[in-house]
Amino acid sequence: MPSCWCSVLFDIHFQLLVTPVPLNDVAFQRCISPKCGETFSVEQVLTSCPKCGDLLDVRYEWDRIELPEKLSDFQQMWSRRNEPRRFSGVWRFHELLPFAKPDAIVTVGEGQTLLQKADQVGEYVGMQPGQLFLQYEGMNPSGSFKDNGMTAAFTHAKATGAKQAACASTGNTSASLAMYCSVTRAMRAIIFIGSGRISYGKLSQALDYGALTVQITGDFDDAMVRVRETCEELGIYLVNSVNPFRLEGQKTIMFRVLEALNWEIPDWIVVPGGNLGNSSAFGKAFMELKEIGYIDRVPRLAIINAAGADTLHELHERRNVRWLDGEGSMAAADAYSIEMDEENRKASTIASAIEINRPVNLRKCLRALEFCDGVVRHVNDQEILDAKAKVGAGGMGCEPASAASVAGAKLLRDQGVISSSDRVVCILTGHLLKDPTTTVAYHTTDQAKFNEVLGKRGVRRASFANRAVAVPNDLSEIINAIQFCG
């Protein structure tokens, strides 16, 4: 029995105070606006600059970090894959996102993904053999690229003592958050989804993993507003890509692409654009690799919107909104936002993952486009689904939003922006099984089903459908069908 309860309480309190925060003082947060540039410690939980409201970056004092001499030295981390930190395709590059101490890292073995040469898809796009590559991020544990970012945000959330984490989602962020919560038991997952706006593969993940699932009457853009308000009000940790730590993890997709290309820089990275977290993270990855001196040139970035959710395309290609070292005017973007409000315009595409009209990372994405001499294109649902069928036929498949990258590469090739001898990497962001309803509707022989799921989206034909053959339960009919079909 202690002599004095006060001293016990004091000891506990003291221990809490002196327990070292498992974050690194070589890292800090900084407002992306050059006019503001305010800095904050990595221990603060922020999703916008408290001074001016702009987005935040995680930044590093590179000269205080022990970095491998060359980028290719990261290959040696493979030999240490019995350590969870080096097994992860994200944390294998820890020195390039060193905001947390090694012991603080939360990993479920994310980032074991593949870059595949895809000549069959390349032929469809119009590339010379050997020039088109697909980066399969659907191979992540929750089936999408989100795990790259979630391991980083989750690490930060846990280090800062969060007990609840939330996101708005078109499905993949929520599946990823729910998975990290259920595997680690470190936090409760609260997810906000637009009612009827999420594919079954993704919804089933969140439900199975046990997340508190809040369905809002509205779409992703509505859910995003509400989750921000709720997190603010209840002090819940927000893991959407406005969280700067999320994007740190997503940088590693680019590191793995370079690694798979033997550290050669491709000519193009083509990525679907939704909330614009990936494109922003990719731009930051190349900015930092150049700043460190690991690379001397960067690939061009092509961001592909769905035509029914093409705010970035409208702003960048038609209204000339530019970053201009952070000095570019956002007046046209603000005016467009008001127009969308006045017309009550809602995003609409079969690629539900990117059905977003108000991308939260717009300004970071404009910065990435400027740094990587980028272009933006939009593709319609017909083009997305045809490209998706080609990806499936030529490889391991992807969900509709991911195929926007291939459809976009084809468009840029048709326009002569990409040349057939360029080396092009399309990012396939999510797994084929995320949205079985769309895939089955594309291949179906049932016209009513096709019309119900796809016809209302303006999809008129399934040019590359692989239709099931219906046969009676009769051996000779079955044999006939096998011999004479296809």
Binding interface with ligand F0G (CB under 6 A): 144, 146, 169-173, 241, 272-278, 353-354, 399, 401-402, 429-430
Smallest gap from Cβ 336 to ligand F0G, in A, equals 18
Of 448, 242, 260, give the one whose Cα is nearest residue 365. 242
Q: Which residue's CB is nearer to ligand F0G, number 159 or number 166?
A: 166
Q: Which is nearer to ligand F0G, 88 or 402 (CB)?
A: 402
Least Å distance, CB 427 to ligand F0G, is 8
Q: How far is CA 115 from the centre of its chain?
A: 16
For residue 145, the minimal CB distance to ligand F0G (Å) is 7
Q: Which residue lies nearer to ligand F0G by CB, 295 or 401?
A: 401
Residue 146 to residue 191: CA distance in whole angstroms: 14
462 and 439 in contact (C-beta within 8 Å)? no
Looking at beta carbons only, is 159 or 168 nearer to ligand F0G?
A: 168
Strand partners, 356: none
Name the residue among 52, 91, 57, 59 with its Cα closest to residue 280.
Answer: 57
With the CA atoms of 230, 234, 239 and 241 taken in that order, what torsion angle do they form, in degrees rounded to the nearest 10? 50
Task: Name the minimum Å distance from CB 95 to ligand F0G.
Answer: 24
Identify which of residues 376 and 453 has a Cβ nearer to ligand F0G in the complex: 376
- Rounded-to-integer distance, Cα 414 and Cα 59, Å: 39
Shortest distance in whole angstroms from residue 152 CB to ligand F0G: 14
Residue 415, classified by CB atoms within 10 Å of its CB into exposed (0-12), middle (13-18) or buried (19+), is exposed
DSSP states along 118-159: -HHHHHHHTPPTT-EEEEEGGGSTTSBTHHHHHHHHHHHHHH
Compute how many other C-beta atoms are within 10 angstroms of the C-beta atom of residue 19. Answer: 8
Q: How far is the CB of 141 from ligand F0G (least distance, A)?
A: 15
- CB neighbour list of residue 445: distance below 8 Å, 6 or more residues apart: 467, 468, 470
Using a 10 angstrom Cβ sphere, with 0-12 exposed, 13-18 middle and 19 or more buried, the burial of residue 317 is middle
Of 115 and 206, the one with the shorter C-beta distance to ligand F0G is 206
Q: How far is the CB of 80 from ligand F0G (least distance, A)?
A: 30
Three-class SS of residue 300? strand
Nearer to ligand F0G, 141 or 430 (CB): 430
The shares of helix, strand and coil residues in the chain, as percent rounded to the nearest 5, are: 50, 15, 40
User: What are the start-end ranges of the H helices in 45-199?
Assistant: 84-87, 119-125, 146-159, 172-184
- Least distance (Å) between residue 283 CB and ligand F0G: 12
Complex with ligand F0G: residue 155 or 176, whichever CB lies closer: 176
Q: How near is the Cβ of 469 to ligand F0G at its closest, in Å? A: 31
* Choice between 77 and 221, CB closer to ligand F0G: 221
The CA-CA-CA angle for residues 101, 102, 107, to 5°, reads 120
